[in-house]
Amino acid sequence: MMTTEEVLRKFPLGSVGWVLATIAVGLILGTLLSLFVLVGITGPLLGVRLSFILAILDVTLLVALVVVYLRTYLETRARFPLGLVVVFVLILFATLVGSPLTGVVSFTFLVSLLEAVAFSVLLYLSLE
């Protein structure tokens, strides 16, 4: 398996290129999915569509972060990257539960709870 640095060196624009590519994939995927998933939605469709696209972008970025830090953990076996994976997975669940992807936006308590746990883990890791 190639290290993260080797993967970044092979990409033409390095880190910036990966970030821009991830954002582009998230926006394209969100736009395409919104065309199929949001059929029959009534009300302010533009707002719902933009929320849906941004939720897909958030999910895409969080998955990318999980992959990066999981690779870092597997390379180093350090606890900090593993803790970040836990934080990002919790934020990913919060994003999925509280976004237009679920069709129900009444999970405010669960979203807040997942975020509080994620931020607590992040604070613990930062102070260690």
Report yes or no: 90 and 114 within 8 Å, Cβ to Cβ: yes
Query: Alpha-carbon torsion 107, 108, 112, 113, what sign?
Result: negative
Close Cβ partners of 101 (under 8 Å, ≥ 6 residues apart): 52, 55, 56, 59
Cα separation, 62 vs 101, in Å, equals: 15
**For the chain, which residues make up each domain, given as ranges?**
4-127
Residue 120 pLDDT exceeds 60: yes
Quick one: pLDDT at residue 128?
A: 66
Query: Alpha-carbon torsion 47, 52, 53, 58, what sign?
Result: positive
pLDDT digits (tens, 9 = 90+) for 55-100: 888 888 889 889 888 988 999 999 989 989 988 898 888 888 777 6
pLDDT digits (tens, 9 = 90+) for 29-57: 999 988 887 776 666 667 778 878 888 88
